[in-house]
Amino acid sequence: MTVLVSTWEDPGKVGIEAAWKARSEGADLRSTLEAGLAACELDPTLLAIGLGSLPNADGELELDASMMDGEDLSAGAVCAVRGIAPVISVARMVMERTPHLMLAGEQARRFAIEQGIQPRNLMTEENVRRYDEWKTGNAKNEYVHSLEESHDTVTMLGLEMREDGTPHVISASSTSGIAWKQPGRVGDSPIVGAGIYADDEVGCAGATGWGEELWKACASFRAVEFMRQGMSPQEACEAVVRQMRRRQPKSHQMACVVLAMNLKGEVGAATTAAEFPMWICRDGQIEFRQYEALKD
């Protein structure tokens, strides 16, 4: 059995279809999630992540990505990387080819190039146009964060039941960060425990939405630990989001989303605000779900 989860409507669909295609052609779980996220990053028509996504306040794309393997809690991440895609592949290389967990900025870019990824211009006519529009419309309010128009992240969860019957989980995420962010800003997505977490003893979780709030909540780790205490994925996500809504007043203002999957392949999600769409693929059967914001 393979269960895959992918966030947000348009990029999530590209991600889940590419991931399942890779899986059905024999990819292991790491390569499956990498294929899903890389497909989104390399699609210039998606405003969400990678090539053609929405840049920072200087009009430059700074990308973050991460992957965590629940078998032995291995993880790799990159943050604030310019001119490289797919950064999910670089995050995986950090996990597999270095003794470190995260590489940042210019040095992450250098590592990616050393590992054979060609640097490229990630700006397109469309995202330059969007940037100019924002810049002229909000010149006095430069660092306004906006999630309204597009979503800037795809987070994916994966579960496989191995032939010996043991379950295995992975979480991965790729993001251009919140649109028009202050240059150098890093959100939750590349942070183990905040944007992703996976543990083969329990299950996996991920986050998307307002990174500062999700990071303060250690949202993904918390969801996995709630499942460890016996909650279902849905109960765990709701518990994290309720706690955020209670303790973090700002989390009401913008979507802060937590999603989780346990070792049976049960899936849940919850959001502090707005609606949250998500794709689930069970052995090739793709289902679309929409979650309403929790009220208290």
Tell me whether residue 175 is one of the annotated catalytic residues: no
The minimum distance between CB 147 and ligand SD4, in angstroms, equals 6
Q: C-alpha angle 2/74/77, rounded to 5°?
A: 95
Alpha-carbon separation of residue 164 from 200, 266, 281, 294 (angstroms): 14, 20, 22, 39
From 178, 205, 236, 259, residue interacting with ligand SD4 (rule: CB under 6 A): 178
Shorter beta-carbon distance to ligand SD4: residue 11 or 167: 11
Cβ-proximal residue to ligand SD4, closest one: 211
Task: Sort 148 into a burial class: Cβ within 10 Å, 0-12 / 13-18 / 19+.
Answer: exposed
Q: Pick the catalytic residue from 2, 153, 175, 271.
A: 153
Cβ atoms of 147 and 208 closer than 8 Å: no
Q: Is 260 helix (H, G, I), strand (E, B) or coil?
A: strand
Q: Please state the φ and ψ torsions of residue 63, each to the nearest 5 degrees.
A: -105, 150
Is the peptide bond between 11 and the residue preceding it cis, with omega within 30 degrees of 0?
no
Per the structure block, which two tokens stand in for 238?
A: 């709701």
From 175, 220, 262, 271, residue interacting with ligand SD4 (rule: CB under 6 A): 175
Give dist(CA 96, CA 125) in Å, integer: 35
The one segment of 50-58, 144-152, 272-280, 281-289 that binds ligand SD4 by CB under 6 A: 144-152
The one segment of 76-84, 98-106, 132-140, 150-158 that binds ligand SD4 by CB under 6 A: 150-158
By the rule CB under 6 A, 153 interacts with ligand SD4? yes
Would you give the binding string for ligand SD4 spanning residues 209-248, x where CB under 6 A is met? xxx-------------------------------------
Q: Which of the residues are catalytic?
A: 153
Chain residues binding ligand SD4 by CB under 6 A are 147, 151-153, 175, 177-178, 187-189, 208-211
